[in-house]
Amino acid sequence: MARRFCTEPDLARTTAEVLQRLRSRNYYEQGLVDAVFQNWVRRPVTFVDAYAFMLIYCKIVTGEFRIARIPVGETPGADADTADNNAKLQQLAPQFSAEFWGGCTDHDGWFTWHDHLHVGGYINVDHKLVVGPEIAIAPRRLQLEVGTQSAAKTLYMLNAGRGIARWPYDSDDLWVICDPTAFSRVETVCQRDDDGWPCSRSIEKQ
């Protein structure tokens, strides 16, 4: 970041604007922000947070990264609540599964889709956000991160593994952010409706 700012001063100004928008909490969809990063409640959003978020967000609105939002039905508990968090994850729709172990390992667990997964999201077209390309990707598993997470770590995981599953605090949805070019595509007969993709809903919400 420092090297780029030395040669691209406009990038530093843009990052400062993103930082202000993040701190206002009313410019970006907060659920998506929390999926990318979520600081401890007393830790302010920093310049580094804004820079890493900006790099990820730019790839989302240009269609390079696609997202999915899968209902869990409950919000995660504390990192130490292993059994409770795993019980909540059992409420995922049958084609999904997740395992949480928390602790101090590199990641908190795994999220798997056993059938297909629809990924999409908004993209920027002529300075307006419109629904972007939506595709279905073949079964796969991704590292799961629950609760707080730095933007820098999310950026690293996306660059290294081409995808991440996030279950932020206060969110009853699990988010997937991925580079679809790293996954095999599949054809499905699923039809999206007003509630999203029926195959992504939990049993309770069907």
* Tens-digit pLDDT profile for residues 85-121: 999 999 999 999 999 998 766 789 999 999 999 999 9
Look at residue 204 and tell me whether its pLDDT is greater than 50.
no
**In whole angstroms, what is the distance from residue 100 CA to residue 176 CA?**
16
Count structural domains, the chain.
Answer: 1
- Report the chain's mean pLDDT, rounded to a whole number: 92
Look at residue 14 and tell me whether its pLDDT is greater than 80.
yes
* Range(s) of the domain holding residue 85: 2-205
What pLDDT was estimated at residue 205?
39
pLDDT range class, residue 206, cuts 50, 70, 90 = very low
Rounded to two decimals, what is the model's pTM?
A: 0.91
Mean pLDDT calculated for residue range 146-157: 96
Beta strands in the chain (DSSP E): 66-71, 96-100, 109-113, 117-119, 122-125, 128-131, 135-137, 140-146, 163-167, 173-178
Look at residue 147 and tell me whether its pLDDT is greater than 60.
yes
The per-residue pLDDT for range 41-62, each reduced to its tens digit, is 889 999 999 999 999 999 999 9
The percentage of residues in the chain with a pLDDT greater than 90, rounded to a whole number, is 80
The percentage of residues in the chain with a pLDDT greater than 70, rounded to a whole number, is 96
C-alpha 156: how far from chain center: 13
Q: Which residues pair with 118 in a beta bridge?
A: 136
